[in-house]
Amino acid sequence: MHRIVAVVLALLFAPVGPARAEADAAGQGRILFEQKCASCHTIGGGPRVGPDLHGAHQRRSEEWLIRFITQPDRMIAEKDEVAVRLVEQFNRIVMPNLGLKEAEAQALLGHIRAASDAAAAPAEIPAAAVAALGRPQLIAPQSIVLGIFFFISAIILLVFAWVGLSTRSPEEVNVKKAYGFRKAMFATASVVVVAALALTMPGAPYAVASLKPDRIVYVAARQFDFVFSDEPITSAADLGRIPTLQRLELPADALVEFRVTSLDVNHGFGVYGPERQLLAQTQAMPGYVNRLRVRLAQGGYYKVFCLEYCAAGHHAMQSGFNVK
Ligand SMILES: [Cu+2]
C-alpha cells in the first residue's frame, strides 16, 4: 500500500517539480532581461547600444557569458580579447557592471537561449534601403515659417543698412514730426498684432486638449530605449510584469495621447514623420507625466528619437511605430 502511494505521489510530482522550477527560472530570466538588459540589447531585434544577443550562447562559451554578464568591467580591464573587440565595435561604450549574481546570470542565459530559439535570426537592413533615404524635405508649415523668417530678416537688414548709410549726410531732426511718426508706427503695429492674434488663436491646440483621445499610449523612457505600454509603467520593477508593446501600431487620423515619463534621467521624446521631419516632442522626466497629443494623417513608419543628451548610449536611443 505504501509503495503504491509512493509511486502515485512520484508520478504526480516528479515531472511537475523540475518543469515548474525551469519555468520559474525562465520567467525570472525574462523579467531580469526586461529590467536590466533590454534597454541596450535585443534578442533577434538587431543591435542597439550593445550587440543583438540572438544566438549568443552559440558563439560564446557558457563560462565566458556568465563571467561577462556578472563582471563585464573586470573582463574589459583584463583585456579579454573578445570583450575588447566588442567594445571597439560598439563605440567604446562599456557595458556596465549590473551587480548580478551567478544564479541570475544563469537565469538570463536560459532566457537568451529560449528567446533565441523562438526568434528568427535578425534580419539585416539592406544597404540599398538605407541609401535610398534621401535628404529630409521641409514640410509646408516649416518652409512657410522659414520663408517668413527670411523675409522679416531681409527687411531688418535693409533698415539697418538704410540707417547706417543715412549717417553720412547728417540733418536736423524735426522732433515733433518724429514723435508723430512714432505714434503712427505704434498704432500700425498694434493693429497688426491684434489681427494676427485674432486670426491664429483659434488654431491653438487648447480645443484639442478637451477632446477625449482615441488611444492612450504610455511611454517610459530609460537609458537607452523607450518602452510603450497600455498601462502606466512608473518604475523599473514594473518592467517584465506589465506587458509592453513590442510593435506599436496606431490608426491613422486618430487622436493619440502619449503619456511620457522617465525611469531614470531626463530624456526627450521626439516624434519624426515618415519623411523624417520632427512633428512633435515633449520631455520625458522622472516623476512627471507629460502628455503629447498628435493626430497623424499619413500612414508609414514614424521614428522616435531621444532629444536630450542622456549619457554615452544616447545616440542609439530610438524607437518607432507604424501608422496605418
Ligand atoms: Cu538621450
Same domain, 239 and 303: yes
pLDDT-derived band at 17 (thresholds 50, 70, 90) equals very low
> For residue 256, what is the domain's CATH number?
2.60.40.420
* Residue 21, burial from CB neighbour count under 10 angstroms (0-12, 13-18, 19+): exposed
**110 pLDDT higher than 80:** yes
Name the residue among 307, 323, 306 with its Cα closest to residue 48: 306
112 CA distance to ligand 1 centroid (A)? Answer: 27
309 CA distance to ligand 1 centroid (A)? Answer: 4
> For residue 103, what is the domain's CATH number?
1.10.760.10
Same domain, 26 and 118: yes
221 CA distance to ligand 1 centroid (A)? Answer: 9
Grid cell for residue 142: 516649416
Give the chain's domain count.
3
The residue range of the domain holding 190 is 141-165+181-203
| pLDDT tens digits, 194-250 | 999 999 988 887 776 788 999 999 999 999 999 999 999 999 889 888 998 888 999
Same domain, 241 and 307: yes
Q: Evaluate whether residue 127 is within a structural domain.
A: no
Q: Evaluate whether residue 282 is within a structural domain.
A: yes
Same domain, 28 and 113: yes
Coil, helix or strand at residue 91: coil
Average pLDDT over residues 257-280: 93
308 CA distance to ligand 1 centroid (A)? Answer: 5
Q: Walk across the sheet containing 267-272 and list its strands.
A: 249-250, 318-323, 300-305, 267-272, 278-284
| pLDDT tens digits, 121-135 | 655 555 555 566 666
pLDDT at 269: 97
pLDDT at 130: 55
Distance CA 180, CA 50 (A): 69
88 CA distance to ligand 1 centroid (A)? Answer: 21
**71 pLDDT higher than 60:** yes
Cα dihedral: 120, 126, 130, 131 (round 10): 180
266 CA distance to ligand 1 centroid (A)? Answer: 8
* Residue 164, burial from CB neighbour count under 10 angstroms (0-12, 13-18, 19+): exposed
Same domain, 191 and 257: no
| pLDDT tens digits, 178-188 | 999 999 999 99
Grid cell for residue 217: 499610449
Same domain, 112 and 186: no
pLDDT-derived band at 140 (thresholds 50, 70, 90) equals confident
Same domain, 106 and 154: no
Q: Which amino acid is at 312?
A: A
